[in-house]
Amino acid sequence: MSTRIHLSAPDVGPLEESYLTRALRSGWAAPAGPELDEFEREVAERTGTRAAVAVSSGTAALHLALLSTGAGPGTVVVVPSLTFVATANAVRYTGAEPVFVDCDPETGNIDVALVGDLLDSMRAQRRRIAAVVPVDMFGCCADYTSLLPLCAAAGVPVVADAAEALGASHHGRPAGSFGRAAALSFNGNKIITTSGGGMLVSDDVDLIRRCRYLSTQARQPAVHYEHSETGYNYRLSNLLAALGRAQLRRLDGMIARRRRLRERYAKLFAAAPGVRLLAEGDAGANCWLSVIVVDPVQAGWTAQDLARHLGGADIETRPVWKPMHLQPAFAGSRGLLTGAAERLFAHGLALPSGSSLTEDQIDRLTGRVKQFLDRR
Ligand SMILES: *Cc1c(COP(=O)(O)O)cnc(C)c1O
């Protein structure tokens, strides 16, 4: 076994094995099956939504949700610049134009005041805005309290990218329950994994029904496979749903482990000037990734210095997402930018946050951080 300490490795064990084996032995190795139905029901319940459709990735869930808002050629979709590329790619798949908005420096989440300004200017230009897509950054919910009324007043639907946020909450309401629909991801490094998968959740049962239909090649209920429009092959398999169900049983425990790790980091860095934890005040976060932000002038060192020191001990760290407006794939895109995302990209560092880290690994990790700080 590798001694490398990863950022967020999958956390799977005997429970996952037993769920998968049971599903396999039940004869439902076909794409559809009872595990899939149950997994959808359980995730809908967990996110406080009425309906869900399990799909092959979080990106696929976003794509389908955007299609359901009418995103397409000639429309714009507002997305944060600070995000994983999937958010912006899903917009491109529909033919709509992504327009980027900068973030709140405290949380890394979409800057709601800027969204307001952008909606005003888009409407003044008579552009049709299909949707606003906030991202629950690193498992901390966007500021839905301000964002939802603003978008409702503008008549623009919100599609939440909750890919990182299963199990998180905002003022007591679960991540996934905000906006018209929300996309979840079960990729290998997310808070729970199906080794690859996602889900779209919503209170709008018709929306989910239509997305389920689009996710199965838009196949009409006829024995000869009738198709009157273009669909997608986006369905999650029954076996992977079984894996997801086992992971869901363990979600609260896994969040607790990640939270304890974040508390260790908070203690470690408390005495270090110029270092803060991103979204530290958010008690509802699922603590998917713990991210520090370093002010190099105050601290006397940079995020890159610490990354190098940890890398020397085979400990993985990573900068926060490189903002979309800096990505060659989105060169020339429009946006409303303040520099906040660029500063987080320059000074932020995601630290190992996985729930499968052993006590020995956590000791090795925190010892190495302490050694770095002591030498400053
Ligand atoms: C992981 C992630 C996605 C995409 O999920 P996949 O399941 O990998 O397609 C989308 N948005 C954000 C913010 C993510 O972190």
Distance 337 CA to ligand 1 centre (A): 23
- What pLDDT is recorded for position 27? 85
Report the predicted TM-score, pTM, of the whole model to 2 decimal places.
0.97
Residue located nearest, by CA, to atom 13 of ligand 1: 84
Average pLDDT over residues 283-288: 96
Q: pLDDT at residue 312 above 70?
A: yes
- What pLDDT is recorded for position 223? 87
Q: pLDDT at residue 104 above 60?
A: yes
Phi, psi of 210 (to 5 degrees): -65, -40
Q: Is 82 in the pocket of ligand 1 (CB under 6 A)?
A: no
- What pLDDT is recorded for position 136? 98
Q: pLDDT at residue 2 above 60?
A: no
Q: Is 164 in the pocket of ligand 1 (CB under 6 A)?
A: yes
Q: Is 109 in the pocket of ligand 1 (CB under 6 A)?
A: no
Q: Which residue has the tokens 């995020």?
A: 303
- What pLDDT is recorded for position 189? 93
Average pLDDT over residues 242-256: 98
Residue 186 CA: which ligand 1 atom is closest?
7
Average pLDDT over residues 154-163: 98
CATH fold group of domain 14-249 = Aspartate Aminotransferase; domain 2 (3.40.640)
Amino acid 302 reads T
- What pLDDT is recorded for position 38? 97
* Distance separating alpha carbons of residues 96 and 246, to the nearest angstrom: 37
190, 267, 322, 370: the active-site residue: 190
* Mean pLDDT of the residues in the chain: 96
Q: pLDDT at residue 365 above 50?
A: yes
* Distance separating alpha carbons of residues 372 and 294, to the nearest angstrom: 14
CA distances from 295 to 2, 80, 219, 315, 340 (A): 33, 23, 54, 22, 13
Percent of all residues in the chain with a pLDDT value above 90, rounded to a whole number: 94
Angle formed by the axes of helices 238-249 and 14-25, to 10°? 150
Each residue's pLDDT tens digit, 13-29: 999 999 999 999 988 87
The domain locations on the chain are 14-249, 251-375
Instruction: Among 37-41, 120-124, 301-305, name the one with the lowest average pLDDT.
Output: 120-124
Q: pLDDT at residue 40 above 80?
A: yes
Q: pLDDT at residue 130 above 50?
A: yes
Average pLDDT over residues 309-336: 97
Q: Is 138 in the pocket of ligand 1 (CB under 6 A)?
A: no
Amino acid 254 reads M
Q: pLDDT at residue 31 above 90?
A: no
SS (H, E, C) the chain: CCCCECCCCCCCCHHHHHHHHHHHHCCCCCCCCHHHHHHHHHHHHHCCCCEEEEECCHHHHHHHHHHHCCCCCCEEEEEECCCCHHHHHHHHHHCCEEEEECECCCCCCECHHHHHHHHHHHHHCCCEEEEECCECHHHCCCCHHHHHHHHHHHCCCEEEECCCCCCCEECCEECCCCCCEEEEECCCCCCCCCCCCEEEEECCHHHHHHHHHHHECCCECCCCCECCCCCCECECCHHHHHHHHHHHHCHHHHHHHHHHHHHHHHHHHHCCCCEEECCCCCCCCCCCCEEEEECHHHHCCCHHHHHHHHHCCCECCECCCCCHHHCHHHCCCCEECCCHHHHHHHHEEEECCCCCCCHHHHHHHHHHHHHHHHCC
Residue located nearest, by CA, to atom 5 of ligand 1: 58
Q: Is 134 in the pocket of ligand 1 (CB under 6 A)?
A: no
Percent of all residues in the chain with a pLDDT value above 70, rounded to a whole number: 99
Distance 86 CA to ligand 1 centre (A): 6
Q: pLDDT at residue 294 above 80?
A: yes
161, 166, 184, 235: residue to mutate for ligand 1 pocket, most atoms within 8 A of CB? 161
Average pLDDT over residues 207-225: 93
Q: Is 57 in the pocket of ligand 1 (CB under 6 A)?
A: yes
Distance 374 CA to ligand 1 centre (A): 37
Average pLDDT over residues 197-215: 98
Distance 223 CA to ligand 1 centre (A): 35
Contacts 24+ apart (CB under 8 A), 252-259: 252/167, 253/355, 254/11, 254/191, 254/192, 254/355, 255/167, 255/191, 255/286, 255/287, 255/355, 257/355, 257/357, 258/191, 258/286, 258/287, 258/288, 258/290, 258/353, 258/354, 258/355, 259/287
- What pLDDT is recorded for position 249? 98
Each residue's pLDDT tens digit, 162-193: 999 999 999 999 999 999 999 999 999 999 99
What CATH number does domain 251-375 carry, 3.40.50.1980, 1.20.1440.230, 3.90.1150.10, 2.70.40.10? 3.90.1150.10
Distance 120 CA to ligand 1 centre (A): 29
- What pLDDT is recorded for position 58? 98
66, 89, 185, 186: residue to mutate for ligand 1 pocket, most atoms within 8 A of CB? 185
Under the banding of pLDDT at 50, 70 and 90, the label for residue 1 is very low
Active site residue 190: yes
Residue 57 CA: which ligand 1 atom is closest?
7
Query: Among residues 343, 272, 361, 344, which one has the least CA distance to residue 1?
Result: 361
